[in-house]
Chains A and B, each alone.
Chain A
Amino acid sequence: MFRLIVQRVALAALALFLTSLITMAAVEALPSDACAAYLGREIQPAALQKCREKLQLDRPAIERYFIWTRGLLSGDPGVSLNSRRPVGEVLIQRIRNSFLIGGLAALIGIPLAVFLGVYAAIRRERFPDLAISILGIASMALPEFVTATVLVFIFAVSLGWLPAVALISANSTIPQMLPATILPVAVLIVVMVAHVMRVTRTNVIDQLDSEHAEFARLRGVTGWRLLVRHVLPGAVPATIAVCAYTLAWQLAGVVVVERVFNYPGLGSLMVDAINNRDLPLVQTTVLVFTAIFIGTSLLADIAAVLVNPRLRRRSS
């Protein structure tokens, strides 16, 4: 167990390092740089030269990468090329905002999805299962921005109950932000519920059909007892894994949803940073995303091991 965690953390560090290299290469490969993006058509050779010197863009990419890495390791991810504000300061508010919608969505979405999945499984091939499955497939098939537009149209434009877009500042207080989070959270839930629900349903059905459950039934165990004692323990590890991957995968959804709803989170920050060729900001944001992704997967693996004794034994 311990060895597994150490191994995984080491791999995570390697992945983060490689990601930062790839990010740098990708941003460098894009046409234009922070100065050209900033000056636009007002670009003049002298002004461009001055700007590049000021932002140290005249230095080789590798050198700038090592300056950034060195800063990061000592806890300072540098200064945004666009706003000249410390990257850490910019990120903190945005991380808070993204976690607010991501967290609310997970908090509501995962229990809801597990409940629906289990319910669909035990009512398999009857009306509740069919209804839940069809709705689930539909909401999985719809991209976030479609769901978002439909919800905005119903709840903001037609009914006027909720704001269509978030008109808040990055440093607004959480109570100020809550009304603006309802629709983004709803969109994330719709997408997330479908995935987790489908997997939960499949896993529960597998377990219901397993020899283990059959045996329990033969011993006279039925109803809730069968479900809780014999079916769910088998279905939980795979479900946890899918929850974690869905959460991680939801990061991409967060980017789209934040853009559509004008929500000042990590995702919209990254889109702007890329457009501005703001390398330190892009690097750090991507690193945060990667860390969340890897961290969630790691937790999922550990949790799966903890709840499933068979895995525990095999790994040690």
Chain B
Amino acid sequence: MLHQRPWFALSRAGRGIVRPLVLATALAAGLASTGVADAATFRISTDAGFGAATSRDPISPKRDDKVASLVYSRLVRLDEAGKPAPDLATEWTMSDDLTEWTFKLRSGVKFHNGADFTSADVVYSLERILSDKIENAAKSVLSIIDTVDAVDPLTVKIKLKSPFSDLPLLLLDYRIRILSAGTGDLESYNESGIGTGPFQIAEYDPEGTSIFTAFPDYWEGKPGVDEIDVFAIPDQQARVQALLSGQIDWLPQIDRQEAKLFADTSKFKTQTIKTGNWEGLVMLTNTKPYDDVRVRKALRIAVDREAMRDLLVGKDGGTISCDSPVWTGDQYYVDIGPCGQDIEGAKKLLAEAGYPDGIDVELIASDLNPLWTGMAEIYQQQVAPAGIRVTIKQVPSAGYWDTVWMKNPFMTTLWGQRPADQVLNEGYRSTAAWNESKFQSPELDALLDKARSTADFEARKAVYGEIQKLLWEQGGTLVPFHDNVLSVMSTKVEGLQPTISAEVRWHQIRVTE
């Protein structure tokens, strides 16, 4: 879940020409008609963010996340307890020094082209990610891997460059999928579309309609629907209209205001999905005045997180976080709260840091994410009593990641759900490319290494707890809450669990008439 935005997030190509009008029709939405549906077909949409250039390769920057999760399987998947569960790998063991991992593979698994799944496919799939010739961001996730070897047809040995007790967590990354060794090389992206997943590609048109048919030999059994149709609809409001009129069966994410449109429970059901996604504010900890840990903490504790969440997304719209990027569903989440608003504490810290009369800061926000501007404005109001005078500078959303992010001392940011180890190493380790607060803490780096090399789960969890406390005391990142996503589907849809899109169990879905 390394990608900056889950595929269900906002349409890249401008959203909501018709938003106000759709909302205006909310009152009468109960009249929504039933569409005509083929019972054995599940119809969904994609934002078609990459248009005709979309790649079927799950590691391409222009990957199609639908293809990745419908067509391909991973070695492990995420279970409800936030832990890695068997998928193509049935069990795994590590050496005592935590540098050598052995994965046993599932037997009798077939690829869509009829080939047997073996260790050679795992070696190919991981080596292509590590290949210098194929540009991909999953490479940094697996950079700890030294070699991948096939021991026998159903056993793979992975040697690491340094000890790591949680390798399966990295293999959960939604791009790290198993492709068939016979379908590609280590030189270029693999456009074969041949996987071991529950659905296979029948027709592929990333700008129009793509048809995926059930793979009868899927190892978990024949999928519950015969066909999944994916329609390219770049505009969120158009997607909402398509669901309202029964042209599609499911929208994995809608805005809270749009929920009113789907109030008719005889036709629609909504799900609230807890996720580890978050939007927040980040300070560059190497830049004045944010290089002073007291200023950073003051700027964070002056916030009323609960009120901010209630105003932005409503009470059910998020789970409060005390500036921890580790979310409540993660096995290493530690509750370090409560972290209520502390105006006096903030004033005191600012005075100690040499700002007895308060401090002026400039906060950069943009409309790239729909919550950012509101969050900046609420922040401005909430911290004012502590003497923090915030000027908001609104910048264009185009080029935000390129020209604004990590280049300004105080700005809005967002992250998709990742396991604790991944989000901490990617976003906070002093050497990380995405260390967006430029956080330089040898103490944190040492704790991250310690967590990785601690074999015992409880002891490891204690280390992650220390890390979360350290970030609360010293960090430069405000994480007010983790998002709860609202998903809507037709009442005809059964078996769709409330989970983030990368973890959807497609074969369990049924559509009844």
Interface pairs (29), CB distance under 8 Å = A32-B399, A32-B403, A41-B5, A41-B434, A42-B3, A42-B61, A42-B137, A48-B402, A83-B53, A145-B17, A145-B18, A148-B18, A150-B21, A152-B241, A156-B245, A157-B29, A157-B241, A164-B244, A164-B245, A164-B247, A165-B233, A170-B207, A172-B208, A259-B238, A260-B18, A260-B237, A262-B232, A271-B14, A275-B14
Having A37-B398, A160-B33, A164-B241, one finds 13 other A-B pairs with CB under 8 Å, namely A31-B402, A80-B52, A82-B50, A145-B18, A146-B21, A149-B21, A152-B241, A163-B247, A165-B245, A167-B231, A170-B208, A272-B13, A275-B12
Contact between A83 and B14, CB atoms less than 8 A apart: no
Contact between A167 and B25, CB atoms less than 8 A apart: no
Contact between B13 and A271, CB atoms less than 8 A apart: yes
- Kindly state whether residue B173 has any CB partner on chain A within 8 Å: no
Contact between B17 and A31, CB atoms less than 8 A apart: no
Q: For the side of the interface on A, what is the size category?
A: 35 or more
Residues of A within 8 A of B22 (CB): 149
CA distance A153 to B261 in the complex (A): 11
Contact between A32 and B135, CB atoms less than 8 A apart: no
Contact between B32 and A157, CB atoms less than 8 A apart: yes
Which A residues fall within an 8 A CB radius of B? 30-32, 36-44, 47-48, 50, 80, 82-85, 90, 145-146, 148-150, 152-153, 156-160, 163-165, 167-172, 256, 259-262, 264, 268, 271-272, 275-276
**B34: which of A160, A164, A262, A268 is its contact (CB, 8 Å)?**
A160
Question: Quick one: which of B35-74 are within 8 Å of A by CB?
Answer: 35, 50-53, 61-62
Contact between A275 and B13, CB atoms less than 8 A apart: yes
A32 CB → nearest B CB, Å: 3
Residues of B within 8 A of A37 (CB): 398-399
Which B residues fall within an 8 A CB radius of A? 3-5, 12-14, 17-18, 21-22, 25, 28-29, 31-35, 50-53, 61-62, 135, 137, 205, 207-209, 231-235, 237-239, 241-242, 244-247, 396, 398-399, 401-403, 405, 433-434
Given A146-B21, A272-B13: A82 and B52 interface contact (C-beta under 8 Å): yes
**A38: which of B61, B205, B231, B246 is its contact (CB, 8 Å)?**
B61
CA distance A30 to B398 in the complex (A): 8
**Nearest 10 A/B pairs, CB to CB:** A169-B208, A32-B399, A160-B33, A41-B4, A83-B52, A164-B245, A31-B399, A36-B402, A149-B21, A156-B245
CA distance A228 to B5 in the complex (A): 64
Chain B residue at minimal CB-CB distance from A169: B208
CA distance A117 to B314 in the complex (A): 52
**A276: which of B51, B205, B241 is its contact (CB, 8 Å)?**
B51
Interface of B is mostly: loop
Contact between B234 and A268, CB atoms less than 8 A apart: yes
Residues of B within 8 A of A156 (CB): 33, 241, 244-245
Contact between A260 and B401, CB atoms less than 8 A apart: no
B183 CB → nearest A CB, Å: 22
Contact between B242 and A259, CB atoms less than 8 A apart: no
Contact between A31 and B398, CB atoms less than 8 A apart: yes
Residues of B within 8 A of A261 (CB): 238
Residues of B within 8 A of A260 (CB): 17-18, 235, 237-238
CA distance A181 to B125 in the complex (A): 44
CA distance A157 to B32 in the complex (A): 5
CA distance A84 to B62 in the complex (A): 13
CA distance A82 to B61 in the complex (A): 12
Given A165-B238, A271-B13: A43 and B402 interface contact (C-beta under 8 Å): yes
B248 CB → nearest A CB, Å: 8
Residues of B within 8 A of A171 (CB): 208
Residues of A within 8 A of B33 (CB): 156-160
Contact between B52 and A90, CB atoms less than 8 A apart: yes
Contact between A256 and B17, CB atoms less than 8 A apart: yes
Contact between B401 and A168, CB atoms less than 8 A apart: no
**B21: which of A36, A44, A145, A276 is its contact (CB, 8 Å)?**
A145
Residues of A within 8 A of B244 (CB): 156-157, 164
Given A41-B4, A275-B12: A149 and B18 interface contact (C-beta under 8 Å): yes
Residues of A within 8 A of B207 (CB): 169-170, 264
A87 CB → nearest B CB, Å: 12
CA distance A160 to B34 in the complex (A): 7
CA distance A146 to B25 in the complex (A): 11
B152 CB → nearest A CB, Å: 36
A288 CB → nearest B CB, Å: 18
Contact between B401 and A41, CB atoms less than 8 A apart: yes
Contact between A36 and B401, CB atoms less than 8 A apart: yes
CA distance A150 to B22 in the complex (A): 9
CA distance A38 to B63 in the complex (A): 12
Residues of B within 8 A of A165 (CB): 233, 238-239, 241-242, 245, 247
Residues of B within 8 A of A259 (CB): 14, 17, 235, 238
CA distance A172 to B205 in the complex (A): 11
Residues of A within 8 A of B209 (CB): 167-169
Given A149-B21, A170-B208, A271-B13: A160 and B35 interface contact (C-beta under 8 Å): yes
